[in-house]
């Protein structure tokens, strides 16, 4: 990894341990250039590499990225199949780089519903990187927050847990993100300001930022700006803080 001049000096004292990103705006990025939407998705996946590198540089421990939602299956068929083709390539092509960065790949969502060749690549990526500990990269792929909660309820009920024994901890432990701390900072690029079924349980007390930039153009310096903004926020968790 290329080392930059004193990145730490630009970082606030308080760094988000877990950053989650809704990588939005690929289609509009392409449209603005007169390109097909898939060209935007391709550029978006290429951008991922520099953001992962920047997270490692800044000492972020967990990065969760929203790659494909349970609702995205409803897009035109050629876009969906094009996206699956891109994911197929990316999981294979980026694995070596991810491994080199010391990142551990994890998946959140319904892997069983994606085509077997892709399932295989994701599983292989998780297996290859399982001992890495510099960064955990959670890929939310065929992920929906409501679906996740439904699956958790099913699992809790099928284990025969008594209603009075169900608490927030039990629910958290049955989500796809079990064992991963809640996100501190959620970034949604492209100027849209909504949750779109992303980490609806886990982001209950996250800080949110909404940069205008379309995802393919969202680079290291903008990530740094989001982290600096996070550093200026005061997290209250419903309490009154003493001065």
Active site amino acids: 24, 72
Q: Determine contact, residues 187/233, Cβ cutoff 8 Å.
A: no
- Out of 14, 93, 134, 194, the residue judged to bind ligand IPE by CB under 6 A: 194
- Out of 43, 54, 60, 67, the residue judged to bind ligand IPE by CB under 6 A: 67
Choose between 57 and 202: whose C-beta lies nearer to ligand IPE.
202
- Selected range binding ligand IPE among 61-69, 109-117, 163-171, 205-213, rule: CB under 6 A: 61-69
Bridge-partner residues for 149, per DSSP?
none
Number of Cα atoms under 13 Å in the Cβ half of residue 97:
14
Q: Tell me which residue has its CB nearest to ligand IPE.
A: 27
The distance of closest approach from Cβ of residue 159 to ligand IPE in the complex, given in angstroms and rounded to an integer, is 31
Separation between Cα atoms, residue 241 and residue 243, nearest integer Å: 6
The distance of closest approach from Cβ of residue 180 to Mg ion in the complex, given in angstroms and rounded to an integer, is 25
- Selected range binding ligand IPE among 8-16, 167-175, 190-198, 231-239, rule: CB under 6 A: 190-198
Element (H, E) at 107: strand 103-108
Quick check: 24 binds Mg ion (CB under 5 A)?
A: yes
Query: DSSP character for 113?
Result: G
Query: DSSP character for 17?
Result: S
Angle at the Cα of 211 from the Cα atoms of 176 and 235, rounded to 5 degrees = 65
């Amino acid at each position: 990894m290329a080392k930059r001049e004193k990145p730490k000096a630009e970082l606030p004292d308080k760094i988000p341990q877990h950053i989650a990103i809704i990588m939005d705006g690929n289609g509009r990025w392409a449209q603005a250039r007169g390109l097909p939407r898939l060209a935007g998705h391709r550029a978006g996946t290429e951008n991922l590499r520099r953001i992962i590198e920047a997270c490692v540089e800044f000492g972020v421990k967990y990065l969760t990225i929203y790659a494909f939602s349970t609702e995205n299956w409803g897009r035109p068929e050629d876009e969906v199949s094009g996206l699956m083709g891109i994911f197929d390539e990316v999981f294979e092509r980026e694995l070596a780089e991810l491994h080199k960065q010391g990142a551990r790949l994890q998946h959140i969502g319904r892997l069983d519903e994606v085509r077997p060749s892709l399932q295989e690549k994701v599983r292989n990526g998780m297996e290859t990187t399982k001992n890495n500990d510099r960064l955990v990269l959670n890929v939310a792929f065929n992920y929906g927050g409501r679906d996740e909660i439904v699956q958790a309820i099913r699992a809790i009920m099928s284990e025969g847990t008594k209603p009075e024994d169900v608490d927030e901890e039990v629910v958290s432990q049955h989500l796809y993100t079990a064992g991963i701390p809640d996100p501190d900072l959620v970034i949604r690029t492209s100027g849209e300001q909504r949750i779109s079924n992303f980490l609806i349980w886990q982001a209950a007390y996250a800080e949110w930022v909404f940069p205008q930039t379309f995802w393919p153009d969202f680079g290291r310096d903008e990530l740094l700006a989001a982290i600096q903004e996070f550093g200026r926020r005061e997290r209250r968790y419903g309490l009154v803080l003493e001065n």
